[in-house]
Amino acid sequence: LQLATSAGVAATTVGCRRGHDASAGAPGDASRRLHERLLTLDTHLDTPANLASPGWDIMRRHDVRVDLSQVDYPRMVSGGLDGGFWAIYTPQGPRTPEGEARARDEALQTAVRIREMVASHPRRFEIALRADDAPAIAARGKRVVFLSIENGYPLGHDLTLLRTFYELGVRMVGPVHFLDNDLGDSSTDPKGKEWQGLSPLGKRFVAEANRLGMVLDASHASDDVLDQLIDLSKTPVILSHSGCKAVFDHPRNVDDDRLRRLAASGGVIQLNSLGDYLIASTKDPLRKQAVEQLMARYGSWHELGPDARARFVRERRDIDGAYPAPRATLDDFMRHVFHALQVVGPDHVGIGADWDGGGGVVGLEDVGEIPRITERLLAAGYSEDDLAKIWSGNVLRILRAVEAAKPTAASADAAR
């Protein structure tokens, strides 16, 4: 999730559709129909942050132009998205016992909110705990809710909390977010590397995730952490929402050599649609200042009611008018997708568009428009079989590997 941070909203340009618009118009019927047949999962949905927003209802159709939200039940149906990994995101805070306890509580609240969402709509959503649950839930006509953790900070120094979250349903976990923490280095900490990868605690965290049966997620982590996760983890690693450094050089993107190593170990990169990681963004200091002042005036986005959000979005659009900035397009996003496909092939690529966490580009504004991704892939000659892997087969393969590698009760006893 990037949206709640000042850098995030500052980077998001609202409604300024520049560049070519080859992506305009409704996605083709063929790709929509294909979405009905395929199991489609996005590996990084930041939508849980909206569940606590006053007046926001997962069952109601919202308009991204009005409240910036990108995922709800009606739009998942429109876009043919069967589900995905719903992220328990916690911003990196003070690395103190009090900060860790606060983060633990916040993450638990988010987990409870996701579970309450599912409990509230038992005919629409269902928690998925194993890879095989996903197609079964989709076959029952429901949306698939895997849980994941973005930022291991809420674990503090108590790795038994990883089991707590596992028991609440979490099946994927990434150690860090924007800043280095006690588990390891972030790709974007302005202070640089603290651990040269994983910390000693972070290495135990990897072993514990393996033991429990959680997929390890290297998005947001430094290159060193990615390398060490590939080396240390007994199971393939995922980049749940990342991009290609060869297409645009940004710390949140991964270079081709690392992508090949990731693929060789069975892992997958899921492509992110967050504009700042796709193309060079504007550096206009006046624009930056205007956005920061706007955000300071409104405070925490997720505490704003619908009216305040609409006002915010209007003021945000005024800033885009006063200080225009280029905005990434579906073409830009697809350039990352196609590059990854060229480098590692359709067995190692998927989609994690960072919906509700900063994702979304011109031509791919919300989850209702994801058939456009499929349309582009079909036009480029990828087959239905390829698309089945890209839209869920690859991540479920990793999850099955994690399930298979999980020590049984008997072998765990023997190891004692």
Question: Where do contacts with a second copy occur on this chain (CB under 8 A)?
Answer: 97-98, 101, 104-105, 108-109, 111-112, 115-117, 119-120, 122, 158, 160, 163-164, 167-168
154 or 267: whose CB is closer to a second copy? 154
Considering the complex, what minimum distance in angstroms separates the CB of residue 92 from a second copy?
19
**Token couple for 109:** 């609240």
Which residues have a Cβ under 8 Å from the Cβ of 47 and sit 6 or more positions away? 58, 69, 70, 71, 72, 86, 355, 356
Q: How is 79-146 classified by DSSP, letter by letter?
A: HT--EEEEEEE-----SSHHHHHHHHHHHHHHHHHHHHHHHH-TTTEEE--STTHHHHHHHTT-EEEE
Least distance between a second copy and beta carbon 114 (Å): 10
Which of residues 122 and 285 has its CB atom nearest to a second copy in the complex?
122
What is the smallest separation between the CB atom of 97 and a second copy, expressed in angstroms?
8
Q: How far is the CB of 101 from a second copy (least distance, A)?
A: 4
β-partners of residue 184 are 198
Which residue type sits at 178? F
The beta-carbon contacts of 192-196 under 8 Å, at least 24 apart in sequence, are 193/222, 193/224, 195/224, 196/224
User: CA 216: distance to chain centroid?
Assistant: 13
Closest by Cα among 159, 150, 33, 151 to 84? 150
Phi, psi of 147 (to 5 degrees): -110, 145
Rounded to an integer, what distance in angstroms lies between the CA atom of residue 243 and that of residue 250? Answer: 9
Burial class (CB in 10 A: 0-12, 13-18, 19+), 135: middle
- Grouping H, G, I as helix, E, B as strand and the rest as coil, residue 247 is coil
Q: Give 244's strand partners.
A: 254
122 or 321: whose CB is closer to a second copy? 122
Distance in Å, CB of 307 to a second copy, minimum: 24
CB of 270 to a second copy, least distance (A): 28
By beta-carbon proximity to a second copy, the closer residue of 211 and 287 is 211
CA–CA distance, 77 with 159 (Å, rounded to integer): 37
In the complex with a second copy, which residue's Cβ is closer, 149 or 238?
149
**Least distance CB 55 / a second copy (angstroms):** 16
Which CB, 107 or 131, lies closer to a second copy? 107
Task: Please give the Cα distance from 44 to 40 (Å, whole number).
Answer: 13
CB of 2 or CB of 90, closer to a second copy: 90
Specify the residue, 30 or 119, whose C-beta has the smaller distance to a second copy: 119
Which residue, 108 or 232, is less far from a second copy as judged by CB?
Answer: 108
Q: How far is the CB of 176 from a second copy (least distance, A)?
A: 23
Residue 41 or 111 with smaller CB distance to a second copy: 111
In whole angstroms, how close is the CB of 378 to a second copy at the nearest point?
40
Q: Which residues pair with 349 in a beta bridge?
A: 269
Query: What is the H or E stretch that residue 241 is in?
Result: strand 238-244
Query: Whole-angstrom Cα distance, residue 165 to residue 87?
Result: 12
- In angstroms, give the least distance from the CB of 164 to a second copy: 5
Helix (H, G, I), strand (E, B) or coil at 187: coil
CB 363: neighbour CB atoms within 10 A? 24
The CB-of-53 to a second copy minimum distance in angstroms stands at 17
Judged by beta carbon, residue 117 or residue 225, the one nearer a second copy is 117
Query: What distance in Å separates the CA atoms of residue 302 and residue 49, rounded to the nearest whole number?
Result: 7
Are the C-beta atoms of residues 111 and 165 closer than 8 Å to each other?
A: yes
